[in-house]
Structure 1
Amino acid sequence: MKTDYGWEDVATLILYVLSFFLLWEWLRPVEQITETANVHFFIIFAGLSLLLYYFELNWIISGAIKAMFILVVLQYLYFDVPFFGEGEWFGELTALVGESVVLTVQQNWSGVSDLFRSLLFFVLLWLTAYLMHYWLAVRKQMFLFYLFTVVYITILDTFSPYDGSMAIVRVILFGFMLMGLLGLQRMADHERITLSMGQLQKWLIPLAALIAFSSAAAYAAPKSEPIWPDPVPFLTSFSDGSGVGSGGVNRLGYGVDDSELGGSFVGDETKVFEATVQGEQYWRIETKDTYTGKGWEQSREAESLTPFSVNEAVPLTLSAIDEESETQTVSVDVDLTYNHLVYPYAPDQVINGEADELRYNPVSDKVTSYEDGDLVELSEYEWEFREPRYSLQALRNTTGLGENAGSMEQYLQLPENVPERIRELSLDITESEDNWYDKAKAVEGYFSRSGFVYEQEDVPVPEGNEDYVDQFLFETQRGYCDNYSTAMVVMLRSIDIPARWVKGYTGGEVLENLGDGRSIYEVTNNNAHSWVEVFFPEIGWVPFEPTVSFSNNISLNYDLDLDTDDDTTETPEPAETPEPESPEPLEEDTGAIGQVDEDGSSGTGGWTAFKTFISENRLMLFLVSVLLVAVGTGLYRNRNRWMPYVLIRYYRSQKGSEVYPKAYSSLLKQLRRYGLRRKETQTLRAYAKEVDNFFGTHEMSRLTDQYERILYRSEDPKDKWSNMRELWEDLIKKTTG
């Protein structure tokens, strides 16, 4: 621990304070852009760590102080008992940490406790503070951390709600002062001079004045308009969902532009909402009715939106409702807010929501929320709904539109240049069926029977006049939900069955079973999905799921109405999606978009399993990588401290005439790492005297004399090592300080 302090130490203290302010800028946005609370404890810990490094306390004492601080904070935040007097909390703490470690090993990140997350955050700050201490005290360079801080603030300011206007000003001021003082210290070390108060003033006053003047001038100077277009819309377009087909790589999620489908995509685990409901649902958002050959558009804009209020019947009827069915509720807790509402099939009314008006679009079936006449994003709302009723007899009795022909024209629309072979394939698939329902089921099951593959990567975009569906059906036979759902709609329309394209989310992943029949489902951008609805005159719109490895749970809950005049009623097979011959479906309860290999097996092995693991664990892998890089960087930067002990252990076990020359060369390298560099024109004898003067010994000169005897006089080095080993070890140990 330091005992004597001079003006150099004052300058060093200023450096640590400025470094703390830079580190503080990393912590300021955390509370705003994440769910982390009590950030002030982490800020205090960062300052305490840097202060302990400044006073150069013994690492055992310093570590004990920081560990005790962490323990006290965790006890205060997560246990409602006194720190002293009741010891049960400590056992519970260790149990929670142990359980979270096991869950981490099992890759169950959602089950890790908040206490363990806080502990990991403290450890990360501990490592960061040590790295900053190393950069200040040893390297005397902080430009890399300063650059990362600037990049961090600008990215958050651009892509998050955090306003970095003042943060970037503070970073510039602290960063320039920090690097200016480090420059002064490097020059003082190089010239081997001790800084005085006067020297510090001569450096600090002009530096502070220059920074203040340049900052004020930059703030007051007129600003010209941007020369280049804003890149943010282009970058964020990649997160607009799978409906953006640019030929590049898209990111999963809901988007409004589906005019160009196709292209590969990457997963996105960003949570959209949590739903508390009984049974898994498909979450509907909107429909589109016009197929262009490349994607989907709306045939027209709604003349007006139909308004309704909370606790008022929704002006939306998708299909016949069983009036005797039990009313259910679903609570939606939104993380990624939109101004539209997601809803299950057969919604009755919104029974809770902070909006004074809701509006229904009769063209797209989209429900949006308004407050004082302006669109508003709801953070939570609650639906009341009932299960729809589908009569198998009515479905199989449907062979035409009848009186509804005129109102269904937009759902039979196809471009004039749609290849004829699509219709020929559809007729071939359905030739043995005599009703719409069985024809639709035949088309739905065609993909799983014909070797089509669910694929997220290397999915092409149709070029020129090439049709999107034609390319999928007859050339690639691989793709994701947009390919399958669009293909089924076009195929049904080609044989005069009205159908439309639907967008929304699959059920999601179960987070918790509440014990009363309800569960909490987490729905992420990975659950963004599209499927098909077919119109039956006596029923309404009925959903179908053509995408291989998916099963629409709503389609599995048919209420069969099979009364006939016959004395014997034949019970038909339940109107379920037929079991696919190949491939087998993935786990249904995950709600994630499944992928299957070409051989029909679930993609859990080999390269597919590796890609899935990377996709599902990006955050944890990033944190582990950061920790490994931090540890590796610390070991590399401090190799002059531990490398001598490795060399000592290595050369103790070596024998022979070549040991002494090699050991002497290793000593020269270690001295160079320590900071005692040999000049290019400097002889070994002169360099040895310089080293001895630095350490106050004669060891280097004696070692060099023996080395020159071997080098120039060709003396036998056999006994040199045994005689000089202790001198060599004593000197190389001095470089660990």
Structure 2
Amino acid sequence: MSAHSSNKIQTIVLYLLGFFLLWEWLRPLQEITDTGSLTYFVVFIALSFVFYYLKVHWILSVSLKAIFIMYALQALYIDGAFLNFLWVGPLLQDFIENIRLTIGREWYELSFIYRSLLFFILLWLMAYLIQYWLMIKKTILLFYIMTIVYITILDTFTAFDGSASIIRVIIFGFLLMGILALQKIVDKESLIPSRIKAQRWIIPLVFMVGVSSTFALAGPKADPIWPDPVPFLQSFADGAGGTGVSKIGYGTDDTALGGPFIGDDSVVFQAEVKREHYWKIETKDLYTGKGWETSTIRDSEAFFKSGEPMAYFSYFGGLNESTPIDSEKVMVEQPYSHIVYPYGMQTVKSENTTFNLNFGNEKITTYQNYEEVKLDEYIVDYKNPNFSLKALRSANGIDVQEMPEMEPIINQFTQLPEGLPQRVKDLAIEITAEEETLYEKVKAIEAYFSQKGYVYDQFDVPVPEENQDYVDQFLFETKRGYCDNFSTSMVVLVRSLGIPARWAKGYTEGEHKKNIDSEYDLYEISNNNAHSWVEVLFPEVGWVPFEPTVGFSNNVTINYDLDLPESTPSNAPETEKPSPDKTIKPESDPGTSEDSSFSFKEMVDDVKTFFVENWTILFLIFIGSVIAAVILFRFRGRWFPYYLIYYYRFKKDADFSSAYLSLLYQLRRYGLKMDDGQTLRAYSRYIDTFFGTREMSILTSRYEKGLYGQEHSVEDWTQMRELWENLIKRTTG
């Protein structure tokens, strides 16, 4: 066989091994993703290597690959025949829309067609790189190592079994590196390739790889010497026992709180809602010093059917007979057998479903045929609570002697562990020392965290030591944490004053996706929206939610129905008016009045004399003013946000829209500019990611509601001002 033929066979073998090695990257996708079929992607890789081997002209190669990609996308996603070209319009429209989404960084909105296109382009680039490494650089070590790492990671942390894949990768990789080593030697030594020389190299190579692989499979395996690191690493995702890095999301075990967590954008449910509100799942009442448990004092249950009124929830605060009933639809993504519900829920509806309410934690579980099930969707009817500020301020403590039936409730929701440090109780007294009513005391504790510089942080959050109280650590040592730290601390502080309070869990309002119609909006709630907050019991009012976590607002509606000061009596004396018969003589010009002692010329002379006599001082004042102005302008980012805070705080007719636009300007000045074509919603997510909060998304959602015709009220500005101030302070650098 000639040298050319030998070289040709080696090239074919290299391309085949490169194709098989790249194929290993695709195999796990069917198990760990929603990818249906890999056929088109595998064929595309094979087609690319065939073109490279045949050295097809790049124009023809690009054209044929593009046609194949269009054919694959049409076959996968668009009904109809390829040659009728009816798919061209929808495909182009989809591409244009997704390019806009890409520019706006709205990655989660990208369609499957567009994602498949990007994947084809990625495979195109990878095929080119492998061809370059094989034929030009004659080395495949980097890609080989990357493939091994890729397979081992997926085998360790996903459901994919990489046992067979790792064997194939080892065989393909060693054969590739062996043949490439032969070619490098031939090129370096300027040897003439021949069939005999190639056989002397390749046959021993194949034999050694085959025999070593066989012995490796058949031989006995020693037990691992080092401890398995996987359980430790998985604790970062599971947060077992409250140690390690937790993965954010709803969980049932809150016995050991603390430690950092990582985000998880997996969608839990979607909801068609009329207004933003929190979604509640359960409450817990027993604080242990490390976390929360549910006591068994009221661990009873009640079953009710779809659409039946829930009398137990009549003790929701802020409800009355005239409050209208609203309906909202929940569409579930995660396999949970409990429901989420808004405050003021009246009924829940789902066909052929029975619901079980646990009175101990207020968690509602779904049943069908006496077995727990996960519902795909359900409808909740509720009355949006509207709390009377007058009633809240007039609420007094519960007198157990007058209401002995309330004693178990008081004991249950004022429980504190015996080992709670005294300084925690002293702090609660100090915070509320100047407040008179129960409501004012609770509000003072709620506002304490934002006023005293406590920081919302998901990462630098320690776990309490063995003999350390969770709340005490947060209040006096770290002063940084996330919702669990803030909410638990507030419950403990409120209970220290003898006021009943409990810990509530669920989700925030989520992320606005689109307007369904003039009445309903679609929101998407992910694991990142998992949250905890506080509920306080007010006599004759009910359970009232509070939000102590810095950067969050629970959208509670307060009716400011306080008594206003009496107006001026109608019989008050009126201001005297001039008589119609009086003639008002116009004032004469003082500069032209003959009998006036003022002289314009004398004033000019006095000014000239003053400047001549004091020009040095005036010049220094001018230079100092210029320097001060330059300094103030140069460091305007440090002081101007505070000026805006006091300006909007004391402005009588403060408008949320203008305050929001001022915030955008300060963020742009700070260096966080909005890209061309970027939406406000995408920009707000970028700001929240940068600062590690959710403040910008909440403010943007409220601002957009104003743009869509829902006028902002003074109440809107009152609720949003604290979030706005927290965020604009961050622009001071």
TM-score normalised to the size of structure 2? 0.67
Given candidates 91, 104, 109, the residue that maps to 2:102 is 104
1:240/1:251 contact within 8 Å kept: yes
Unpaired runs of 5+ residues, structure 2, are 568-644, 650-655, 657-662, 675-682, 691-733
2:680 counterpart residue number? none
SS at match of 1:549: coil
Q: 1:345 to 1:261 in 2, by over 3 A?
A: same
2:73 counterpart residue number? 74
SS at match of 1:386: strand
2:413/2:500 contact within 8 Å kept: yes
1:552 counterpart residue number? 554
1:322/1:388 contact within 8 Å kept: no
Alignment of 1:309-708 (within 5 A): 317=313, 319-320=315-316, 325-335=324-334, 337-338=335-336, 340-347=338-345, 351-352=349-350, 360-368=357-365, 378=374, 380-387=376-383, 389=385, 392=388, 395=392, 396-400=394-398, 402=403, 403-431=405-433, 435-456=437-458, 458-459=460-461, 461-463=463-465, 465-474=467-476, 476-515=478-517, 517-536=519-538, 538-553=540-555, 555-556=556-557, 605=670, 613=686, 616=689
Deviations 1:222-270 (A, max 9, x none): 55665554433322322346x9765x76543334444444445554434
CA distance in 1, matches of 2:443, 2:298: 32
The amino acid of 2:60's aligned partner reads: I
CA distance in 1, matches of 2:184, 2:250: 54
1:665 counterpart residue number? none
1:591 counterpart residue number? none
SS at match of 1:363: coil
1:13 counterpart residue number? 12
CA distance in 1, matches of 2:647, 2:209: 69
CA distance in 2, matches of 1:148, 1:527: 35
CA distance in 2, matches of 1:417, 1:236: 32
The amino acid of 2:32's aligned partner reads: I
Aligned-pair CA distance for 1:61: 2.2
CA distance in 2, matches of 1:397, 1:139: 80
- Once the two structures are aligned, what percentage of the paired residues are identical? 46
SS at match of 1:147: helix
Unpaired runs of 5+ residues, structure 1, are 569-579, 589-596, 618-737
CA distance in 1, matches of 2:297, 2:500: 20
Aligned-pair CA distance for 1:44: 1.6
CA distance in 1, matches of 2:648, 2:223: 56
Alignment of 1:278 onto 2:274: yes
2:630 counterpart residue number? none
Alignment of 1:252 onto 2:248: yes
SS at match of 1:492: helix
SS at match of 2:313: coil
1:451/1:582 contact within 8 Å kept: no
Aligned-pair CA distance for 1:422: 3.3
Greater Cα shift, 504-513 or 186-195: 186-195
Alignment of 1:287 onto 2:283: yes
CA distance in 2, matches of 1:466, 1:428: 22
1:147 counterpart residue number? 145
CA distance in 1, matches of 2:502, 2:407: 15
CA distance in 2, matches of 1:456, 1:322: 39
2:632 counterpart residue number? none
CA distance in 1, matches of 2:521, 2:481: 31
Q: 1:364 to 1:165 in 2, by over 3 A?
A: farther
1:287/1:503 contact within 8 Å kept: yes
1:239/1:253 contact within 8 Å kept: no
1:359/1:369 contact within 8 Å kept: yes
CA distance in 2, matches of 1:344, 1:232: 39
1:135 counterpart residue number? 133
CA distance in 2, matches of 1:357, 1:229: 47
SS at match of 2:9: helix
CA distance in 1, matches of 2:229, 2:302: 37
- Quick one: higher RCO (CA 8 Å, sep 6+), 1 or 2? 2
2:341/2:380 contact within 8 Å kept: no
Q: 1:234 to 1:488 in 2, by over 3 A?
A: same
The amino acid of 1:446's aligned partner reads: Y
Q: 1:513 to 1:468 in 2, by over 3 A?
A: same
Aligned-pair CA distance for 1:182: 3.1
Aligned-pair CA distance for 1:132: 0.6
CA distance in 1, matches of 2:214, 2:375: 41
2:98/2:114 contact within 8 Å kept: yes
CA distance in 2, matches of 1:372, 1:266: 38
Aligned-pair CA distance for 1:219: 4.0
CA distance in 1, matches of 2:3, 2:120: 31
Deviations 1:438-477 (A, max 9, x none): 4323322333444444344544555575544344444554
Alignment of 1:23 onto 2:22: yes
The amino acid of 1:171's aligned partner reads: V
The amino acid of 1:444's aligned partner reads: E
Aligned-pair CA distance for 1:494: 0.5
1:54 counterpart residue number? 53
CA distance in 2, matches of 1:604, 1:270: 34
Alignment of 1:207-246 (within 5 A): 207-208=205-206, 210-222=208-220, 228-240=226-238, 246=243
Aligned-pair CA distance for 1:414: 1.5
Q: 1:43 to 1:350 in 2, by over 3 A?
A: farther
1:72/1:83 contact within 8 Å kept: yes
Deviations 1:83-126 (A, max 9, x none): 55557x54664454344334323323234444332322222111
CA distance in 2, matches of 1:182, 1:375: 60
CA distance in 1, matches of 2:524, 2:540: 35
SS at match of 1:317: helix
1:404/1:537 contact within 8 Å kept: no
CA distance in 2, matches of 1:433, 1:264: 35
CA distance in 2, matches of 1:195, 1:306: 85
SS at match of 2:325: coil
The amino acid of 1:122's aligned partner reads: F
TM-score normalised to the size of structure 1? 0.67
1:693 counterpart residue number? none
Q: 1:521 to 1:139 in 2, by over 3 A?
A: same
CA distance in 2, matches of 1:198, 1:7: 9
Aligned-pair CA distance for 1:171: 2.8
The amino acid of 2:102's aligned partner reads: T
Deviations 1:567-612 (A, max 9, x none): 99xxxxxxxxxxx99999xxx9xxxxxxxx9xxx989946999997
1:274/1:520 contact within 8 Å kept: yes
CA distance in 1, matches of 2:140, 2:28: 22
CA distance in 1, matches of 2:648, 2:252: 31
The amino acid of 1:279's aligned partner reads: R
2:397/2:539 contact within 8 Å kept: no
Aligned-pair CA distance for 1:139: 2.4
Aligned-pair CA distance for 1:496: 0.7
Deviations 1:477-529 (A, max 9, x none): 44332222122101110011111112222111111221162322222332221
2:387/2:558 contact within 8 Å kept: no
1:350/1:381 contact within 8 Å kept: no
Aligned-pair CA distance for 1:68: 2.4
